Amino acid sequence: MKNPSSTTPPLYDSIGAGYRDTRRPDPRLAALIGRALAGARTVVNVGAGTGSYEPADAAVTAVDPSRVMLDQHPGATKVRAAAEHLPFADGRFDAAMAVMTVHHWPDLEGGLRELRRVSRRQVVFTWDPEHRPELWMISDYLPQIRELEHARFTPLSTVAETLGAHTVLPFPIPHDFTDGFQIAHWRRPERFLDPVVRRASSTFAQLPADVVEPAIARLRADLASGAWSRRYGHLLARDSVDYGYRLLIAGGEPPGREDVESRPDA
């Protein structure tokens, strides 16, 4: 590990242990990101965590401010640093990637500016807080998530403009999505009853137990009584739902849709 940073976010140092067990890369999202990175020989993964979605055919430099996360990263080149202060020369990489991380950056504009400075192509996967519908967990059980998420996620239009994105691709979440962040369980409500699953979500990790536990108790009761199925049973027939997750591509030549598009059935 090279160039350690003195800045470590306590959130991921606390929830990061065992992260790879519940946050397994989904092959459909991996395919979409892989096509967006096609041809890049050198890639910097900013907010790399445990290395999900990194291309196997490129030399990857993993960057993360959390030592706990980097310790779980299998790569050989790991740098402890913040997105806003990348210790690399201008244009050092063919491409930069950032997957479900920009909402954690204290200075979003500064971090995106750094992505553009150190790479010739940028690929960012994030969520649009202005998108509807929202997850039933939020509307019916934990509306506190809405306030938290809207405080840390920037509207997609702003992120795309700041990044200079020329391509914005939707990614509807499949019902069997393997990467266990919050939205993954939209058709598997019983998964939210598992505290291990909840701990893998930074949202749940930031809410106090006296808020989360009563909500989970209500969900458990609704699953047992059939109330959840009466309200949301229609979701069980869906293969995927668009909840506002998007892949942004900037820099380089805009790819043809046949080169990058890989959407589960909406």
Domains and CATH numbers, the chain: 10-260 (3.40.50.150)
List Cβ neighbours of 198 (8 Å cut-off, separation of 6 or more). Answer: 192, 204, 205, 212, 216
pLDDT of residue 262: 40
- Strand segments, DSSP code E, in 100-244 are 121-127, 165-170, 173-174, 240-241
pLDDT of residue 6: 39
Give pLDDT tens digits along the chain (266 positions).
333 443 434 454 444 444 455 568 999 999 999 999 999 999 999 999 889 999 999 999 999 999 988 998 999 999 999 999 999 999 999 999 999 999 999 999 999 999 999 999 999 999 999 999 999 999 999 999 999 999 899 999 999 999 999 999 999 999 999 998 889 999 999 999 999 888 878 788 889 999 999 999 999 999 999 999 999 999 999 999 999 999 999 998 655 544 444 433 33
The model's pTM = 0.86
Residues 157, 60, 96, CA angle at the centre, nearest 5°? 20
> Rounded CA gap, 228 and 65, in Å?
39
Strand order in the sheet with 78-80: 78-80, 59-64, 42-46, 95-99, 121-127, 245-251, 165-170
**Torsion angle (degrees, nearest 10) of CA 152, 62, 173, 39:** 130
Farthest-apart Cα atoms in the chain, separation: 59
Whether the Cβ atoms of residue 159 and residue 152 lie closer than 8 Å to each other: no
